């Protein structure tokens, strides 16, 4: 299903989506901290009560809503960090899958906003008068931002590059798999505690973030196939096919005697002589010099 969706949006996918999302963040911070502009931001938030009363532009404009922070240094570090992991995932997955991941996160966040409104009407009837609902959702809408969408990007990055090292607080070296586990547990605990306390406006966006990551993780077939999407893999192989043919044609007979192959797949045994269209790569995770063709490079069992 992911492959079919990627093929459908491959031509219309937005390139450099990470930069565009960060620009929305910057616009939101300008509206938030410049005197007199915070009122403008109030008309752009994801307020489900106002949306059902006609202000449908909020379904799109809420993406400029940044997480509140009074620390400029923390804001800059956050933007740089999310640019780093977001642009890396975009290059790795390709624009099509990355667009799908962000789009599904945005849609799930919008759905979570309306679920929040429904939960308030069902479980908090004392807050359902028109005036109280309008005031409460004006404040609650501040919780709906792309912050939790970015958190799901961090989880995807940790699952894709589990052994990458980052410096926590610029001092403590920690692998991404542990950092992702900490963030995942923290999000799950935040969702549970907010639900237990009746704060549905916190539970649903957090749950949407975790659900977005879980959907892509399992639909991709786990961490092994999360690294490259099918469309991105085929694109890379298609681009390199001509280079492989040229390398085979230019192979020096002095370096390789006639009839002896330079490359051989450790799984199927195919060589560049039996199939000149194949591309061969060594696997960095296998213990030893094992070379695989493009058909088995991502699907073989690593040799330890």
Residue 227 has pLDDT above 60, yes or no: no
The four Cα atoms 102, 106, 109, 110 give a dihedral, to 10 degrees, of -160
Over range 183-193, report the average pLDDT. Answer: 83
Share of the chain above pLDDT 90, in %: 2
The residues spanned by each domain of the chain are 2-219, 230-293
265: left (phi over 0), alpha (psi -120 to 50) or beta: beta
- Residue-wise DSSP of 229-274: -HHHHHHHHHHHHHHHHHHHHT--TTTS-TT--S-B-TTT--BTTT
Q: 253: pLDDT confidence band, cut at 50, 70 and 90? A: very low
pLDDT tens, position by position, 46-94: 888 888 888 899 899 888 887 766 667 777 777 888 888 888 888 888 8
**Could you tell me which residues are beta bridge partners of residue 168?**
172
Q: How far apart are CA 116 and CA 259, in angstroms?
A: 69
Between 284 and 222, the higher pLDDT residue: 284
Most confident of 40-49, 129-138, 162-171: 40-49
pLDDT tens, position by position, 100-133: 889 988 999 899 888 888 777 777 666 555 545 5
Least-confidence region, from 64-68, 146-150, 205-209, 251-255: 251-255
pLDDT of residue 275: 80
- Closest to 147 (Cα-Cα) out of 210, 43, 81, 65: 65
Residue 176 has pLDDT above 60, yes or no: yes
pLDDT tens, position by position, 134-149: 666 666 777 788 888 8
> Are the C-beta atoms of residues 5 and 42 closer than 8 Å to each other?
no
């Amino acid at each position: 299903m992911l492959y079919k969706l990627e093929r459908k949006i491959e031509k219309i996918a937005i390139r450099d989506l990470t930069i565009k999302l960060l620009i929305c963040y910057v616009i939101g911070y300008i509206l938030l901290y410049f005197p007199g502009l915070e009122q403008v931001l109030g008309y752009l938030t994801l307020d489900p009560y106002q949306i059902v009363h006609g202000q449908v532009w909020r379904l799109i404009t809420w993406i400029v809503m940044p997480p509140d922070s009074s620390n400029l240094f923390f804001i800059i570090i956050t933007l740089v960090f999310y640019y780093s992991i977001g642009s890396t995932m975009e290059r790795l997955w390709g624009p099509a899958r990355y667009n799908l991941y962000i789009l599904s996160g945005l849609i799930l966040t919008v759905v979570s906003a309306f679920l929040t409104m429904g939960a308030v009407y069902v479980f908090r009837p004392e807050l359902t008068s028109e005036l109280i609902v309008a005031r409460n959702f004006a404040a609650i809408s501040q919780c709906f931002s792309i912050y939790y969408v970015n958190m799901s990007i961090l989880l995807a990055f940790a699952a894709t590059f589990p052994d990458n090292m980052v410096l926590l607080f610029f001092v403590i070296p920690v692998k991404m798999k542990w950092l992702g586990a900490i963030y995942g547990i923290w999000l799950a605990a935040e969702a549970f505690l907010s639900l237990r306390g009746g704060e549905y406006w916190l539970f649903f966006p957090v749950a949407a973030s975790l659900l977005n990551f879980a959907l892509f993780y399992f639909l991709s077939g786990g961490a092994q196939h999360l690294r490259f999407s099918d469309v991105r893999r085929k694109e890379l192989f298609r681009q390199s096919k001509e280079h492989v043919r040229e390398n085979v044609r230019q192979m020096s007979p002095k370096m390789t005697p006639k009839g002896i192959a330079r490359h051989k797949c450790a799984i199927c045994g195919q060589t560049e002589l039996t199939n000149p269209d194949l591309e061969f790569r060594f696997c960095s995770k296998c213990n030893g010099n094992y070379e695989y063709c493009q058909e088995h490079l991502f699907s073989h069992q690593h040799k330890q």
